[in-house]
């Protein structure tokens, strides 16, 4: 029997979940809307808001799971990667909470947890599988051999896919985070209205920096000729950018699947909420006879349920850390 409380605070969501014998019984997420006006997450503000939110979010999670803190068996937390000040709030709270209740501590890698979110509900992928993890800070193709053995076989050399969405949105005067808004406008536009060149990157790696710059120049040039270009073509620009990002992501994923001879394919991370990527993956699955695993929306973007499920498997494995544990803004995969 195990009841695990998990804390996620690596970026701008304060989240606490409870996992009771492998089942998620609470997953409370407090979003920080304060960053919307700044075009990106302000680390200092994120830490402050985590400080304000952490106690009420813990209390709500205990209420939702209908348990008392005395019934807990362990405390799991995101050790990294993420914003140091933001992580520090969750890590410090986890340590004090575990010390006060005399509970063991479990450290979780945020990127592993995005992948292990696939083990919250059915159907669950079979090992080994490939997971395209696409978030605001990462773009990785991961060969997942077991709950604890994972290997990055391809990754971005510069910007992440989520950044490409968010920075394009900023150019289009949309608020942060722009990914979901681009998705919404894309549904109303023509994906073939504008063409953007694919980055030419070797192996299974990605690059989105040049792609982002090409969009910047494209918009500037069009605006010179037509002052209302963005407003008049917003849906078509969003649809075309999204179509290009999805095509770039899936090209390398297909290459990886062929190279490793794997047909169990998953996506994870915030950008896996994107409707274009979800549809594109389904299409690839039909073409290539893949079994695909797409997370439920609430487990795509940052949440503590994924930390709790990762913590649960570590608990079963007896993998605990001491009170000297510290947050890591860059954490080894």
Nearer to ligand KG4, 130 or 161 (CB): 161
Q: In terms of CB distance, is 29 or 74 closer to ligand KG4? A: 29
Q: What is the per-residue burial (b if ≥16 Cβ within 10 Å, else e) of 270-281?
A: bbbbbebbbebb
- What is the token pair recorded at 256? 């990886």
In the sheet that holds 150-155, the strands lie side by side as 150-155, 139-144, 129-134, 264-268, 291-293
- With b for 16 or more beta-carbon neighbours within 10 A and e for fewer, the 210-236 pattern comes to ebbeebeebbeebeeeeeebbeebbbb
- Compare residues 86 and 181 and give the one whose CB is closer to Zn ion: 86
Query: 311 is in the binding site of which of ligand KG4, Zn ion, none (Cβ under 5 to 8 A by kind)?
Result: none
Among Zn ion, ligand KG4, none, residue 205 binds (CB under 5-8 Å by kind): none
Q: By CB under 5 A, is residue 302 in contact with Zn ion? A: yes
Classify burial at 321, counting beta carbons within 10 Å of its beta carbon; exposed 0-12, middle 13-18, buried 19 or more. Answer: middle
Q: Which is nearer to ligand KG4, 179 or 199 (CB)?
A: 179
Which residues are at the interface with ligand KG4 (CB under 6 A)? 11, 135-137, 162, 165-166, 177-180, 183, 269-271, 273-274, 301-302
Interface mask toward Zn ion for 256-295; x: CB under 5 A: ----------------------------------------
**Distance in Å, CB of 245 to ligand KG4, minimum:** 8
Taking the complex as a whole, the smallest distance from the CB of residue 300 to Zn ion amounts, in Å, to: 9
Nearer to ligand KG4, 94 or 307 (CB): 307
Helix (H) or strand (E) holding 19: strand 13-20
**Could you tell me if 125 and 135 are in contact, meaning their C-beta atoms sit under 8 angstroms apart?**
no
Closest CA to 15 of 122, 113, 103, 161: 113
The minimum distance between CB 244 and Zn ion, in angstroms, equals 23
Please tell me the total number of residues recorded for the chain in this structure.
Answer: 333
CB of 11 closer than 8 Å to CB of 46: yes
Residue 13 CB, shortest distance to ligand KG4, in Å, is 7
Residue 215, C-beta contacts closer than 8 angstroms, at least 6 positions apart: 168, 171, 196, 241
Least CB distance to ligand KG4 at residue 59 (A): 23
Out of ligand KG4, Zn ion, none, which partner does residue 168 contact, by CB within 5 to 8 A per kind?
none
Smaller CB separation from ligand KG4, 72 or 182? 182
CB of 183 or CB of 205, closer to ligand KG4: 183
Q: Residue count at the site for Zn ion (CB under 5 A)? A: 2
Taking CB within 5 to 8 Å according to partner kind, which of ligand KG4, Zn ion, none is near residue 98?
A: none
Return d(Cα 255, Cα 244) in angstroms, integer.
17
Residue 78 binds which entry of ligand KG4, Zn ion, none, with Cβ cut-offs from 5 to 8 Å by kind? none
Task: Using CB positions, name the residue nearest to ligand KG4.
Answer: 270
Within 8 A by CB and 6+ apart from 174, the residues are: 181, 182
Eight-class DSSP state of 328 = -
Q: Does 135 bind Zn ion (CB under 5 A)?
A: yes
Nearer Cβ to ligand KG4 (20/156) = 156
Give the C-alpha separation, 33 to 209, whole Å: 27
Instruction: Give contact residues for Zn ion (rule: CB under 5 A).
Output: 135, 302
């Amino acid at each position: 029997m195990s009841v695990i409380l998990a804390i996620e605070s690596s970026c701008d969501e304060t989240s606490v979940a409870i996992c009771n014998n492998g089942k998620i019984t609470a997953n409370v997420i407090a979003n920080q809307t304060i960053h919307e006006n700044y075009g990106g997450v302000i680390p200092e503000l994120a830490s402050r808001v985590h400080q304000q939110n952490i106690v009420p979010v813990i209390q709500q999670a205990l209420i939702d799971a209908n348990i008392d803190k005395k019934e807990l068996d362990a405390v799991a937390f995101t050790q990294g990667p993420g914003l140091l000040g933001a992580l520090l709030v969750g890590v410090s709270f986890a340590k004090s909470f575990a010390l006060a209740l005399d509970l063991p501590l479990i450290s979780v890698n945020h990127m592993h947890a995005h992948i292990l979110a696939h083990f919250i509900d059915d159907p669950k992928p079979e090992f080994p599988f490939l997971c395209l993890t696409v978030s605001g800070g990462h773009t990785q193709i991961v060969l997942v051999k077991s709950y604890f053995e994972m290997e990055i076989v391809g990754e971005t050399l510069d910007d992440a896919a989520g950044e490409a969405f968010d920075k394009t949105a900023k150019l289009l005067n949309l608020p942060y985070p722009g990914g979901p808004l681009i998705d919404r406008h894309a549904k109303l536009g023509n994906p073939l209205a504008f063409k953007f060149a694919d980055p030419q990157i070797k192996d299974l790696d990605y690059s989105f920096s040049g792609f982002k710059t090409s969009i910047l120049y494209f918009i500037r040039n069009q605006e010179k000729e037509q002052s209302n270009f963005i407003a008049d073509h917003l849906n078509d620009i969003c649809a075309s950018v999204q179509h290009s990002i999805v095509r770039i992501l899936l090209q390398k994923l297909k290459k990886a699947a062929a190279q490793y001879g794997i047909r169990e394919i998953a996506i994870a991370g915030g950008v896996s909420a994107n409707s274009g990527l979800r549809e594109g993956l389904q299409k690839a699955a039909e073409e290539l006879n893949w079994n695909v695993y797409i997370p439920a929306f609430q487990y795509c973007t940052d949440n503590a349920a994924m930390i709790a499920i990762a913590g649960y498997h570590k608990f079963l494995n007896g993998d605990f850390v001491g009170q000297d544990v510290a947050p890591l803004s860059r954490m080894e995969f």
